[in-house]
């Protein structure tokens, strides 16, 4: 039984909306329905340069998208500082919402947004695409395997990309009034989400920023790191940066296993993604080699991970529409935990690297 | 012109001596000359079970090896707590010395050992084998490449191996009176050396242990970590552990490049070793893939890395013997820096994770 695809509106013409609009057209249960920008010309140009089908409605304001009764769901790629204002309106207009990360500047704002979603019965999901790559489920299976991986002991994530002078001067992610969380909100969001994902979303008990964060002249973080500590002794460290070469690593080490992935946010290639596993690894007799060798696993996918995201989101929306059921709580829950840890890291930086306790 | 091989004596029958005695036979400029144990029977059994050639002298004491005038160099695989006593004697007997790591329990002991070497004109080298793998030089070349790697920003190293209950109860590395530095002295030595190696042996200005080290019931470290900070903003983190699956990672991230190696201490296989490099990595147009993809580099070797170590050491000894020149200072220098940082981490753990300044 084929169902009507979920009709998406997009508010804003950010670069990332190019990729997500394509994903909406690739997802089997979603359709690109409308785009709105503060300027009609900009919206038209965006639609044209990204090959939008002619039937896609083009609006000269965000409100027009939200007021269109045929729009089921809205994708919000606006700068973080605008999230609370627009996301609340999206929810009030009873539109389901895919919201770019970082979701908010702080947990209080985050809660305003998700409470509005709850009050209006709309699905919330943040735009962390890698969560939806089929590879991610495969890696999670391994981490949950008591025999092959065992108890998780250590997680390290590194996310960085090199920025040109134009980015460091003009990108919204270095502007205190736009994406004020800088590299922590962008690259760091991924680091923290990956750590929580590996820890099965158990929150750490405390967080401590590493020394030496790099800030720009208006105080936005360009590079920082932190260590995270759990009650059971698990430890995590991460580094996020706009100032070094492209790196997207998760290393997770358990009592019995080791997971490595080097492209967890954006796979090296669109249609396949790999990771490497070691399990109960020992040495050859004279300690001159490893037994067994780590194994490489590749997961292929017919549609890119961002289309999987749209598909999963649209499936949830369809279920709500068909059954009148409540939105899936998993997505706002893990999103909030990410925001909570992220802001704890920021607080630790502001408090001269003191440990910050995470309320459990 | 073929020269007389350097004649090695070994004092002690530690497991690691099996691998190094084989390396001595494999190195083209070295020969296995004598082995001594506190018990003649034990020495004989060790020689027999490791296929020593019949001409190798077998002694019932360490002193006998040191007193043999035909022994040029001594390999010392004794527990760390015995190093200062025996290493000083080795030097006083004018034997060149390959000493297992960790070199000493603290920097003061370290200096006693290397001062004895200096006073007696003998070459000192610690037993950090991976330094001598041809792969290491190749990786170093990349890290030094201003175009492909640029300024070093971040180093993360993880070294762990899972231990069975017997190891955790009986191994010398968990005994406060034998290898009192535990996992920090063993796995952590490698982490710190790798970090210093990547930083071109520039010492960090400060070191701070991570929270949550695991100690056994007699206070020996089974697992710990630290962050290291340099004047220029470089940051490093490491984790070392006896309590998780075998992992031997270096991740080094520069302004323009990323290096990954997952088997830096013991290559997966004896005769070849790989690493992976990214340089000026960007994304495809829609940010759905990486351009260029990281590249894998494999370095083959005719003799194992520990034989390269013996070869390099023997070459230095031969040069001293032939020319009456001074010992090469590089090896004790980097060894001392490793010891210095290692003990600073220990001090930070003892001082409740306070930062410890490193004298420059």
pLDDT tens readout for residues B136-145: 999 999 999 9
Q: What is the average pLDDT score of chain A?
A: 97
User: Looking at beta carbons, which residues of chain A come within 8 Å of B246?
Assistant: 258, 278, 281-283, 290
Is the model's pLDDT at A1 over the cut of 70?
no
- Whether the CB of A26 is below 8 Å from some CB of chain B: the reply is no
Q: Percent of chain A, pLDDT > 90?
A: 99
Q: What is the average pLDDT score of chain B?
A: 97
ipTM > 0.90 for the complex: yes
Is the model's pLDDT at B279 over the cut of 60?
yes
Say whether A206 and B210 touch across the interface (CB within 8 A): no
* Closest residue in A to B264 (Cα–Cα): A289
- Whether the CB of A260 is below 8 Å from some CB of chain B: the reply is yes
Is the model's pLDDT at A133 over the cut of 50?
yes
The confidence score (pLDDT) of residue B144 equals 98
* Closest residue in A to B286 (Cα–Cα): A19
pLDDT tens readout for residues B193-247: 999 999 999 999 999 999 999 999 999 999 999 999 999 999 999 999 999 999 9
Q: Is the peptide bond before A292 cis (omega within 30 degrees of 0)?
A: yes
Helix A305-323 and helix A15-26, axial crossing angle in degrees, nearest 10:
60
Interface of B with A in 281-310 (CB under 8 A): 281-284, 286-290, 293-294, 304, 306
Is the model's pLDDT at B56 over the cut of 80?
yes
Interface test with B, best of A253, A261, A263 (most B CBs within 10 A): A253
Is the model's pLDDT at B1 over the cut of 60?
no
Q: Give the residue among B114, B272, B252 at the shortest CA–CA distance from B191.
A: B252
Cα distances (angstroms) measured from residue B234 to each of A210, B230, B359? 12, 5, 17
Contact present, A155 and A196 (Cβ < 8 Å): no
User: Looking at beta carbons, which residues of chain A come within 8 Å of B229?
Assistant: 211-212
Tell me the backbone φ, ψ of residue A263, rounded to 5 degrees.
-145, 45
Q: Estimate to the nearest angstrom the gap between the alpha carbon of B51 and the chain centroid.
A: 26
The superfamily CATH assigns to domain A131-304+339-357 is Dihydrodipicolinate Reductase; domain 2 (3.30.360.10)
Q: Give the residue among B240, B230, B228 at the shortest CA–CA distance from B191.
A: B240
Q: Is A12 left (phi over 0), alpha (psi -120 to 50) or beta?
A: left
* Closest residue in A to B160 (Cα–Cα): A253
- Whether the CB of B163 is below 8 Å from some CB of chain A: the reply is no
Q: Which residue has the higher pLDDT, A359 or B282?
A: B282
CB burial string B148-166: b at 16+ within 10 A, e below: bbbebbbbbbbbbbbbeee
Which residue of A211, A257, A290 is in closest CB contact with B266? A290
User: Looking at beta carbons, which residues of chain B come within 8 Å of A254?
Assistant: 244-245
- Residue B2: pLDDT band (50, 70, 90) is low
- Residue A2: pLDDT band (50, 70, 90) is low
Contact present, A130 and A190 (Cβ < 8 Å): yes
User: Looking at beta carbons, which residues of chain A come within 8 Å of B304?
Assistant: 288
User: Looking at beta carbons, which residues of chain A come within 8 Å of B223?
Assistant: 153
Helix (H, G, I), strand (E, B) or coil at A129: helix
User: Looking at beta carbons, which residues of chain B come within 8 Å of A276?
Assistant: 262
Say whether A258 and B267 touch across the interface (CB within 8 A): no
Helix (H, G, I), strand (E, B) or coil at A300: strand
| Smallest Cα distance from A86 to chain B, Å | 25
How many other CB atoms sit within 10 Å of the CB of residue B356? Answer: 21
* Closest residue in A to B285 (Cα–Cα): A19
Kindly write down the DSSP assignment for every residue of B196-253, as one continuous string.
HHHTTTPPPSEEEEPS--EE-TTS-EEEEEEEEE-TTS-EEEEEEESSS--EEEEEEE
pLDDT tens readout for residues A167-199: 999 999 999 999 999 999 999 999 999 999 999
| Smallest Cα distance from A122 to chain B, Å | 29
The confidence score (pLDDT) of residue B3 equals 80
Architecture of domain B131-302+339-357: 2-Layer Sandwich (3.30)
- Pairwise CA distance, residues B8 & B35, whole Å: 8
Helix (H, G, I), strand (E, B) or coil at A94: coil
Which residue of A18, A239, A262 is in closest CB contact with B154? A239
User: Looking at beta carbons, which residues of chain B come within 8 Å of A287?
Assistant: 15-16, 19, 266
The superfamily CATH assigns to domain A6-128 is NAD(P)-binding Rossmann-like Domain (3.40.50.720)
pLDDT tens readout for residues B303-356: 999 999 999 999 999 999 999 999 999 999 999 999 999 999 999 999 999 999
Interface of B with A in 115-134 (CB under 8 A): none
| Section B108-114 average pLDDT | 98
- Whether the CB of B256 is below 8 Å from some CB of chain A: the reply is yes
Say whether A255 and B245 touch across the interface (CB within 8 A): yes
- Pairwise CA distance, residues A129 & A137, whole Å: 13
The confidence score (pLDDT) of residue A63 equals 98
Q: What are the helix and strand counts (H, E) for chain B?
A: 11, 18
- Whether the CB of B142 is below 8 Å from some CB of chain A: the reply is no
Say whether B287 and A19 touch across the interface (CB within 8 A): yes
Tell me the backbone φ, ψ of residue A161, rounded to 5 degrees.
-150, 145
Say whether A212 and B225 touch across the interface (CB within 8 A): no
- Pairwise CA distance, residues B131 & B150, whole Å: 22
Interface of B with A in 176-215 (CB under 8 A): 206, 208, 210-212, 214
Q: Which residues contact A286 (CB under 8 A, 6 or more apart)?
A: B18, B19, B22
- Residue B360: pLDDT band (50, 70, 90) is confident
| Smallest Cα distance from B329 to chain A, Å | 28
| Bridge-based pairing state of the strands B295-300 and B235-241 | unpaired
Domain boundaries, chain A: 6-128, 131-304+339-357
Q: Would you state the torsion angle of the CA atoms of residues A164, A168, A172, A177, taken in this order, to the nearest 10 degrees?
A: 180
Which residue of A227, A267, A304 is in closest CB contact with B210? A227
Dihedral sign of CA atoms A25, A29, A32, A36 in order: negative
Helix A330-350 and helix A187-198, axial crossing angle in degrees, nearest 10:
120
Say whether B256 and A162 touch across the interface (CB within 8 A): yes
Q: Residues of A with catalytic annotation?
A: 101
Which residue of B212, B254, B293 is in closest CB contact with A235? B212
Q: How many residues does this entry show for chain B?
A: 360
- Pairwise CA distance, residues B142 & B275, whole Å: 11
- Whether the CB of B245 is below 8 Å from some CB of chain A: the reply is yes
User: Looking at beta carbons, which residues of chain B come within 8 Å of A206?
Assistant: 211
| Smallest Cα distance from A92 to chain B, Å | 32
Q: Residues of B with catalytic annotation?
A: 101
| Smallest Cα distance from A232 to chain B, Å | 10
Tell me the backbone φ, ψ of residue A153, rounded to 5 degrees.
-115, -40
Residue with tokens 């063993």: B186
| Section B130-155 average pLDDT | 98
Which residue of A223, A254, A260 is in closest CB contact with B244? A254
The superfamily CATH assigns to domain B6-128+305-328 is NAD(P)-binding Rossmann-like Domain (3.40.50.720)
Say whether A235 and B233 touch across the interface (CB within 8 A): no
- Pairwise CA distance, residues A6 & A26, whole Å: 12
- Residue A205: pLDDT band (50, 70, 90) is very high
Q: Give the residue among B106, B343, B349, B342 at the shortest CA–CA distance from B219.
A: B349
Say whether A19 and B254 touch across the interface (CB within 8 A): no
Interface test with A, best of B51, B230, B244, B280 (most A CBs within 10 A): B244
Q: Percent of chain B, pLDDT > 90?
A: 99
| Smallest Cα distance from A32 to chain B, Å | 18
Is the model's pLDDT at B54 over the cut of 90?
yes
Q: Quote the Cα angle for B204-A249-B357, to 5°.
A: 15
Q: Quote the Cα angle for A332-A215-B231, to 5°.
A: 125
Write the DSSP symbol of residue A271.
Answer: S
Say whether B237 and A156 touch across the interface (CB within 8 A): yes
Q: Which residues contact B125 (CB under 8 A, 6 or more apart)?
A: B97, B98, B99, B309, B312, B313, B316, B331, B332, B335
Contact present, B171 and B96 (Cβ < 8 Å): no
Tokens of A173: 């992610």
Which residue of B161, B254, B268 is in closest CB contact with A245? B254
- Whether the CB of A255 is below 8 Å from some CB of chain B: the reply is yes
CA atoms within 13 A on the CB side of B87: 32
- Whether the CB of A22 is below 8 Å from some CB of chain B: the reply is yes
């Amino acid at each position: 039984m084929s169902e009507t695809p979920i009709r998406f509106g997009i508010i804003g013409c950010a670069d990332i909306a190019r990729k997500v609009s394509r994903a909406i057209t690739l997802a089997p249960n979603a359709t690109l329905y409308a785009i709105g920008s503060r300027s009609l010309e900009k919206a038209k140009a965006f639609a044209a340069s990204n090959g939008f089908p002619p039937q896609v409605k083009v609006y000269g304001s965000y409100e027009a998208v939200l007021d269109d009764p045929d729009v089921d769901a809205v994708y919000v790629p606006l700068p973080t500082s605008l999230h609370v204002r627009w996301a609340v309106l999206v929810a009030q207009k009873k539109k389901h919402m895919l919201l770019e990360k970082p979701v908010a500047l702080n947990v209080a704002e985050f809660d305003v947004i998700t409470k509005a979603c709850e009050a209006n019965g709309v699905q919330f999901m943040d735009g962390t695409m890698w969560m939806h790559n089929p590879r991610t489920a495969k890696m999670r299976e391994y981490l949950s395997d008591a025999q092959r991986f065992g108890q998780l002991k250590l997680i390290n994530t590194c996310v960085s990309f090199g920025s040109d002078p134009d980015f460091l001067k003009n990108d919204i992610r270095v502007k205190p009034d736009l994406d004020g969380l800088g590299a922590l909100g962008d690259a760091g969001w991924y680091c923290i989400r990956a750590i929580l994902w590996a820890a099965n979303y158990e929150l750490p008990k405390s967080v401590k920023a590493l020394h030496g964060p790099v800030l720009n002249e208006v105080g936005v973080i360009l590079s920082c790191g932190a260590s995270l500590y759990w009650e059971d002794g698990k430890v995590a460290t991460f580094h996020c940066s706009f100032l070094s070469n492209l790196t997207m690593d998760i290393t997770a080490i358990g009592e019995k296993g080791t997971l490595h992935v080097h492209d967890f946010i954006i796979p090296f290639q669109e249609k396949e993604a790999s990771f490497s596993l070691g399990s109960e690894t020992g040495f050859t007799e004279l300690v001159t080699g490893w037994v067994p060798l780590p194994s490489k696993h590749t997961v292929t996918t017919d549609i890119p991970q961002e289309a999987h995201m749209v598909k999963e989101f649209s499936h949830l929306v369809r279920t709500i529409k068909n059954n009148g059921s409540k939105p899936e709580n998993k997505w706002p829950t893990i999103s909030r935990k990410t925001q909570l840890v992220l802001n704890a890291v920021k607080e630790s930086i502001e408090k001269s690297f003191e440990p910050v306790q995470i309320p459990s």
